[in-house]
Amino acid sequence: MNIVLGLVMLGIGGLLTVKTEWFLNNFGSIDWFEDKFGSSGGSRLGYKLIGFVFLFLGIIFITGSGGSFMGWLLGPLLKYNQL
């Protein structure tokens, strides 16, 4: 099941990254990205960043390394809890 979910996430991330202009034309601009990253290119960058996040999460799901990744990511916060 994780492999299928990972492949779907890879597909969505790839589409968001490659077809950014299509998503911008059909779904419009994202106001938060426009405010933070610029007037015209902010939404394009936002769609690409969202696509990269989907690609990254898809790879994590396919490889099955979600638990070890979360342990690494949250390790500095969790080590203080184990005193």
Over the stretch 21-72, which tens digit does the pLDDT of each residue have?
A: 999 999 988 888 888 887 668 889 999 999 999 999 999 999 998 888 888 8
Tokens (6 digits) for 78: 């969790």
Q: What is the pLDDT of residue 60?
A: 93
| pTM as predicted | 0.80
Q: What's the pLDDT at 43? A: 87
